[in-house]
């Protein structure tokens, strides 16, 4: 009977899958049990109760309220937000710079193309950690001291302690401006969809970009003025020893942001270049025959088609940038690795628990980025009729 089942192709496939899954679960059960027994032998317990205890350490950049008396869970949340901030800023900057470099790399201007080529080759072939240390060293050692900070219109100050800028302070009536902005964005999206349907049905083209931009800007601005301009600015000023007030971007954040952005942009530029080169030359010639300028051809004809080639490898670069942010600990930027995976680990001795948290957080970041990029990739994919 068993031999007969084994000879059946479909039954054999199911049996192999069941056995494989059973062995996998048995392996994980053995690993977990072995870890628990070893922890007990060392007098340790597997528990996440330490998250409720006071962290007892300071964090140089906190996007939410935090003191040394806050819990380890609060410190973990601060680290997550710091990691997310670097990842989002880095992805946006790397994308913009990478697309520009990729287009310039194909420019007919020999000097511009060669300069971009040199930058890309230098950046890609130097470890990202060295870029982080180099930029951090430049900021700390070459920018002036706070008392000699570079002053831009008495609003922006650049020093080796960071970049100080005005901090917005929202008053009670600003909520109406926020609601107006959300309504304007929703209206712009709906209008864009409606205009597209009209164009497909009748051929009539509306100035979608101008109308949407006007709605998104004008409506919130009118509500803002009618509600009494409920916004003030806290300006930075020189204190006794350092700049005070306003919002500050620390040298550690600036170095990490710039290094990760420039490093990743070098790879994105090559992805963009290859995506553009993958489009048939006949597309350029056909657009030229219709009298479309070269820059408009790139914008309206080439880039939309090239995105189908660019997006899949672009997702990998976003994931690499997010995971490379863990190198922040090298310059003292307090991300998730430095907080829960560093100081908290050393204070509590909870190696297993803290590393599980760090792994799950990076896994969550990666899954969110992958899900978004897969959704966008499907959205721009060719629809077969």
The CATH number covering residue 81 comes to 1.10.3720.10
| pTM, rounded to two decimals | 0.84
Q: What are phi and psi of 123, to 5 degrees?
A: -65, -45
Report the distance separating Cα 194 and Cα 183, nearest Å. Answer: 16
Task: Output 223 or 240, whichever has higher pLDDT.
Answer: 223
Residues 362 and 268 in one domain: yes
DSSP classification of residue 372: H
Task: Output 31 or 3, whichever has higher pLDDT.
Answer: 31
- Among all chains, which residue has been given the structure tokens 């205890």? 53
Residue 206 neighbours by CB distance under 10 Å: 15
pLDDT tens per residue across span 347-377: 888 888 899 899 999 999 999 999 999 998 8
Q: Is residue 239 part of a domain?
A: no
Domain that holds residue 111: 72-142+249-379
DSSP classification of residue 301: I
pLDDT at 7 exceeding the cut of 80: no
Token reading at 155 = 């609003």
pLDDT tens per residue across span 92-147: 999 999 999 999 998 888 899 999 999 999 999 999 999 999 999 999 888 888 88
Residues 23 and 83 in one domain: no
Q: Is residue 33 part of a domain?
A: yes
pLDDT at 2: 63
277 three-class SS: helix
Share of residues in the chain with pLDDT > 70 (%)? 97
Residues 118 and 29 in one domain: no
- Strand ranges across the sheet with 150-152: 150-152, 156-159, 162-165, 247-249
Token reading at 180 = 């107006």
Tally of structural domains, the chain: 2
Q: Is residue 332 part of a domain?
A: yes
Confidence band (pLDDT; 50, 70, 90) for 291? confident
Residue 258 neighbours by CB distance under 10 Å: 19
Residues 255 and 352 in one domain: yes
pLDDT at 337: 92
């Amino acid at each position: 009977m068993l031999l007969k089942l084994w000879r059946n192709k479909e039954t054999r496939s199911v049996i192999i899958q069941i056995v494989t899954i059973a062995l996998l679960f048995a392996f994980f059960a053995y690993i977990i049990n072995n870890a628990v027994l070893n922890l007990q032998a060392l007098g340790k317990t597997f528990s996440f109760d330490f998250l409720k205890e006071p962290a007892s350490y300071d964090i140089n950049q906190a996007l939410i309220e935090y003191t040394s008396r806050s819990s380890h869970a609060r410190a973990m949340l601060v680290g997550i937000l710091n990691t997310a901030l670097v990842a989002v800023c880095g992805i946006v900057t790397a994308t913009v710079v990478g697309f520009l470099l990729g287009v310039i790399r194909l420019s007919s201007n020999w000097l511009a193309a060669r300069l971009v080529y040199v930058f890309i080759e230098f950046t890609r072939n130097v470890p990202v950690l060295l870029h982080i240390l180099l930029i951090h060293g430049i900021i700390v050692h070459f920018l002036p001291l706070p008392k000699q900070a570079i002053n831009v219109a008495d609003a922006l100050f650049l020093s080796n302690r960071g970049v100080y800028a005005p901090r917005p302070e929202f008053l009670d009536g600003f909520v109406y401006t926020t609601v107006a902005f959300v309504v304007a964005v929703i209206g712009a999206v709906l209008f864009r969809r409606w205009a597209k349907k009209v164009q497909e049905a009748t051929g009539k083209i509306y100035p979608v970009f101008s109308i949407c931009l006007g709605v998104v800007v004008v409506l919130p601005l009118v509500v803002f003025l009618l509600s009494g301009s409920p916004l003030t600015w806290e300006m930075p000023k020189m204190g006794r020893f350092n700049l005070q007030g306003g919002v500050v971007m620390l040298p550690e954040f600036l170095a990490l942001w710039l290094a990760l952005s420039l490093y990743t942009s070098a790879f994105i530029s090559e992805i963009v270049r290859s995506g553009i080169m993958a489009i048939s030359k006949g597309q350029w010639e056909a657009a030229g025959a219709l009298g479309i300028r070269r820059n408009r051809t790139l914008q309206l004809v080439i880039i939309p088609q090239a995105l189908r080639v660019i997006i899949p490898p672009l997702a990998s670069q976003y994931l690499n940038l997010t995971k490379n942010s863990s190198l922040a600990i090298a310059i003292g930027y307090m991300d998730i690795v430095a907080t829960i995976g560093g100081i908290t680990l050393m204070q509590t001795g909870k190696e297993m628990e803290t590393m599980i948290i760090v792994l799950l957080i990076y896994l969550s970041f990666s899954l969110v980025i992958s899900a978004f990029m897969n959704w966008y990739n499907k959205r721009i994919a060719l629809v077969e009729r």
